[in-house]
Amino acid sequence: MTLTAIVIDDSPLQQFATCKLINNNPNLKLTASFNDPKVGLEAVNRFCPDVVFLDVEMPGLNGFEFLENLNHDCQVILNSTRSQFALTAFQYNQVKDYLTKPMARPRFEKSIERVIKNKCAKQKIEKPHTVPVYHERLREAS
């Protein structure tokens, strides 16, 4: 399973590091990266990626304000140099993990596994609803 990903981080160095981790993971395809959270929010709402790697502390629109304005039901992995935001982060349904910077590859990989499991579980829940409806329509057509 390949997931589409967008990175939003105002630090060019951290943005580069996150993009590199994504590009080295066969389960991820980098769609875009942004250093401006407002532009990133527009892109996420427009392109609907599977996962967003989102910095918490950014000027203009912090990670939590970003989540409040998110119109797309994607999975978010929040990241920050400070662990103190973790409790607040998990109050948002979209947040699947919280990584502290700099991100270590093993911890990053565990986050991706979590996102993949979540997506698979969601697809299993959604699929059964389509089958009975399809069979009902076949019966009605007969």
Helix H or strand E segment including 129? helix 105-141
pLDDT recorded at residue 133: 47
Q: Which of 9-18, 56-65, 124-133 has the lowest mean pLDDT?
A: 124-133
Omega before 102 within 30 of 0, i.e. cis: yes
- Span 20-58, pLDDT tens digits: 999 999 999 999 999 999 999 999 999 999 999 999 999
* Per-residue pLDDT band at 13 (split at 50, 70, 90): very high
C-alpha dihedral sign at 127, 128, 131, 132: negative
| Residue positions counted in the chain | 142
The pLDDT of residue 135: 44
48: alpha, beta or left, given left = phi > 0 and alpha = psi -120 to 50? Answer: left
The strand order across the sheet containing 28-34 reads 28-34, 3-8, 51-55, 75-80, 95-100
d(C-alpha 76, C-alpha 92), whole Å: 9
Q: Which structural domains are found in the chain, ordered by start?
A: 3-141 (3.40.50.2300)
pTM recorded for the entire structure: 0.84
